[in-house]
Chain A
């Protein structure tokens, strides 16, 4: 092995899809493995935390970390890997913008725990136990990480060098990123490693979108037949393509589903959800409250629609029940 660049993969609050995307690189990853040394990959290889701790700071050339940060353990690992790595890459939507787990920021921690351990219909918990961070048994102590108040994106916890967007990222983007890494051909720090232009630019359906588009009814994709050649918005499906970075190859649209926004916003946009909402709201037909309300009825869960992947990193971030105070 010797002086091949050391690379680490790690996962935090995630579904495993990002790991899958690494495996999806297929032969490419085998070929890559001759050029790099993988020093950590919990899903595929048996390395321990202490192996990393034993390394010198900065010894790892790059770490690709997927998943959002919800627990104390994830935070600890993020800090450790940050210290040991020259380059830290937030891999996938959850690490980048909080992802699906970030939607839980709509509820206080206590409410989440109560539901999951007591109220959910599938729960069997006759003693009414709550999870504990410590458990003592015959002089031994078992610990569980602390479940924090909110979900955070990786860069809300540690300094991040690059972002690879996607839920999950597609192999081409990842390969490009690794090749750039190996050749030292990296863009400026903080760059999102995907084209800085919205998906519509590459969408074959764009030509069917009229200049005076106006939506009088939003429809939900599972309730209707979708024309595979016509712009989703023209058909009334809330497509986030206009507000979402391209680079995915239009995978969802190829599968005849509207874009749900997983690649996040363009570099000029602070808050993808707000922008998507503004854009779609501006093209709602109708002038009376009733007409507008009835069009919007087709979007029963606006946060889940516009902030599906980005709530944690958005300007909204979380729901708080706090009295406003006048200070100073």
Chain B
């Protein structure tokens, strides 16, 4: 192995060692003075001392002063986890005038005092670890952080309230935003609601102005009916491919007059209207709802006679005096570059079929909450009339909470919004039908501003609250009043007996789940998810909208169930984090990356498929592997695998690691 750069060159290696008490966290178990005395005897160690809190300003100053006083060119600190203070001590080393990577940290807290009880053995282990570090740091090299510029644009994936708010925030800050929404319109779930808890303000009144603002904002490029198919690159410089599905309309020509819909050969709807939760039919040429943004029709290829190869006079096309309809349209791909990505793909409601005892799909008048949201909405399938499948008004309604939430058979988590939207629906149903409303709940959870007050209001409005998880819903009557109705059977856990409540309508407060394609999206954007499948934030408390991939942020229910206020707050936070990235203007790349030494690379291709970040490619002309330092995260996979030893990783060079291991194992 050629010895390019041991240390600064040929100069003598002068190491300073500092061991931290961490109050009594370390010193309580490890004899830090003894370790300092021992390390002082090791070769190349010029100064060795202990300090109560090395990370304090005074502690750092001590390092800086000793570097200058003793002309140190290496620093080793034995203290807590590098995760916590490596940056601190590297910075101190740099302030002392030497390259920060001539520093090495030994974790004698998490790996020492916190996991051992025997003082003598823990002290011995700390000495061994320190000796390993002293041996290793001799081989450290000066390294430089690289800087890469950040593109001044953002991609927002998903146009629910989360994506809308994040996009507007960024756009108002003057950044270029690409908003990609899978459906023909933005709005997400919120667009389906009539009112929102706890204020009962009209969802459309607060949402649609924001939607139109997105549609007309000069800084926002809105691609609805589109999906991100590929993303490559790295923080600050992502290359994104967006697939634009054909909607068979020339977007630049359509003005949203909807004449085509009126003239479709189908005079009434011929296919389920997903926006209305399939409670009504729509035509093959359609607009999801009146205030859809963009205000563009779409033709559903599954429902259109012509697109299915059938014979149709295509009256929609002739009705359009702008010739906007184009049956030949094919999917197209857009390629964009962005600096940051905000993932806001939302949630999916729990599938009520998974609780068969509640009779969804079996009894016609068992509804999901989202269906009821449409039923109470004046622009919904019934124009806001709450009527049963037979056209009558319900006289009594049961709302079952926690369907697919807090349930070991389905989902264990609390979906956070169901209690509140159940109260909202109870209020609205009472308002629309004057029925008796029974809420079957396990616990009522109202942790939000004005939420408990809303609950009290509902109690005062004469709603019934029965505590207990509903066993099942049956249509087998045992008394005449139950005849022809559904009977909710529940063990009332406050009263201590089983109740049978006859009702005409059942509402299932279905919980919130990750979307079906969440794991696909997760892989595409290289982010993680928690065990239940929601996207994982980098830190649950301190980095709630960041992910483990730099420059990719989360907003809204894709990260976990939450209500609209929290969604909007999170979207604002994600926008702020993106803005920081863009406004700083560059990203600093840690130098612990891997590189290939060409003359040793046989081109054997072993490393090529291994890199989880696709950082390795092959230079066909030279027949060697090449690592893009900007993409490399320093995971070390390829370094271990390269059978030629042609790949070296900064700060993890063989000679550094072996020197450390050999000293660690002196007593083994």
Contact A279 B606, CB 8 Å, known A242-B644, A268-B645 = yes
Name the B residues within 8 Å of A213 (CB-CB). Answer: 605-606, 608-609
Contact residues of A between 254 and 285, Cβ < 8 Å to B: 265-270, 275-276, 278-279, 282-283
Task: Flag whether B604 is at the interface (Cβ < 8 A).
Answer: yes
Contact B643 A242 (CB under 8 A): yes
Contact A275 B124 (CB under 8 A): no
Name the A residues within 8 Å of B609 (CB-CB). Answer: 211-214, 283
Name the A residues within 8 Å of B603 (CB-CB). Answer: 200-201, 206
Task: Flag whether A198 is at the interface (Cβ < 8 A).
Answer: yes
With CB as the reference atom, state the residue of chain A lying closest to B647: A268
With CB as the reference atom, state the residue of chain A lying closest to B654: A270
Q: Separation in Å of the A200 CB from the closest CB of chain B?
A: 4
Q: Separation in Å of the B605 CB from the closest CB of chain A?
A: 5
Instruction: State which of B597, B602, B618, B668 has its C-beta within 8 Å of the C-beta of A242.
Output: B602
Name the B residues within 8 Å of A206 (CB-CB). Answer: 603-605
Task: Flag the segment in A38-46, A109-117, A320-328 that touches B.
Answer: A320-328
Complex Cα distance, B600 from A201, in Å, reads 10
Complex Cα distance, B610 from A214, in Å, reads 10
Contact B641 A282 (CB under 8 A): yes
Task: Flag whether A241 is at the interface (Cβ < 8 A).
Answer: yes
Task: Flag whether B253 is at the interface (Cβ < 8 A).
Answer: no
Name the B residues within 8 Å of A269 (CB-CB). Answer: 643-645
Contact residues of A between 285 and 328, Cβ < 8 Å to B: 324-328
Instruction: State which of B121, B602, B641, B668 has its C-beta within 8 Å of the C-beta of A200.
Output: B602
With CB as the reference atom, state the residue of chain B lying closest to A199: B602
Q: Separation in Å of the B474 CB from the closest CB of chain A?
A: 44
With CB as the reference atom, state the residue of chain A lying closest to B617: A211
Instruction: State which of A197, A267, A279, A328 has its C-beta within 8 Å of the C-beta of B642.
Output: A279
Task: Flag whether B640 is at the interface (Cβ < 8 A).
Answer: yes
Instruction: State which of B124, B623, B646, B654 has its C-beta within 8 Å of the C-beta of A326.
Output: B124
Most buried by A among B606, B608, B609, B640: B606
Instruction: State which of B623, B641, B646, B668 has its C-beta within 8 Å of the C-beta of A278.
Output: B641
Name the A residues within 8 Å of B597 (CB-CB). Answer: 268
Q: Separation in Å of the A324 CB from the closest CB of chain B?
A: 6
Q: Separation in Å of the B652 CB from the closest CB of chain A?
A: 14
Q: Separation in Å of the A282 CB from the closest CB of chain B?
A: 4
Complex Cα distance, B667 from A270, in Å, reads 22
Name the A residues within 8 Å of B644 (CB-CB). Answer: 197-198, 242-243, 266, 268-269, 275
Name the B residues within 8 Å of A79 (CB-CB). Answer: none
Task: Flag whether A196 is at the interface (Cβ < 8 A).
Answer: yes
Q: Separation in Å of the B647 CB from the closest CB of chain A?
A: 9
Task: Flag whether A179 is at the interface (Cβ < 8 A).
Answer: no
Task: Flag whether B1 is at the interface (Cβ < 8 A).
Answer: yes
Name the A residues within 8 Å of B5 (CB-CB). Answer: none
Name the A residues within 8 Å of B667 (CB-CB). Answer: 325-328
With CB as the reference atom, state the residue of chain B lying closest to A198: B602
Task: Flag whether A209 is at the interface (Cβ < 8 A).
Answer: yes
Complex Cα distance, B121 from A279, in Å, reads 37
Contact A198 B604, CB 8 Å, known A269-B643, A275-B643 = yes
Complex Cα distance, B322 from A136, in Å, reads 118
Instruction: State which of A200, A325, A328 has its C-beta within 8 Å of the C-beta of B124.
Output: A328
Instruction: State which of A210, A275, A325 has its C-beta within 8 Å of the C-beta of B645.
Output: A275
Contact residues of B between 17 and 65, Cβ < 8 Å to A: none
Name the A residues within 8 Å of B1 (CB-CB). Answer: 267-268
Name the B residues within 8 Å of A270 (CB-CB). Answer: 645, 654, 658
Contact A279 B641, CB 8 Å, known A198-B602, A209-B605 = yes
Contact A282 B658, CB 8 Å, known A201-B602, A201-B623, A266-B645 = no
Contact B608 A282 (CB under 8 A): no
Complex Cα distance, B501 from A145, in Å, reads 98
Q: Separation in Å of the B595 CB from the closest CB of chain A?
A: 13
> 1/0 per position for B110-137, CB-CB distance to A under 8 A?
0000000000010010000000000000
The contact sample of 11 A-B pairs, CB cut-off 8 A, is A198-B644, A211-B608, A213-B609, A242-B602, A242-B643, A268-B644, A270-B645, A276-B643, A278-B640, A282-B641, A283-B610
Other A-B pairs, 17, CB within 8 Å; known A265-B645, A270-B645: A196-B600, A198-B602, A198-B604, A198-B644, A211-B618, A213-B605, A242-B604, A243-B643, A267-B1, A268-B600, A268-B646, A270-B658, A275-B642, A279-B604, A279-B643, A283-B606, A327-B667
Interface residues of B (CB under 8 A from A): 1, 121, 124, 597, 599-600, 602-606, 608-610, 618, 623, 637, 640-646, 654, 658, 667-668
Interface residues of A (CB under 8 A from B): 196-201, 206, 209-214, 241-243, 246, 265-270, 275-276, 278-279, 282-283, 324-328
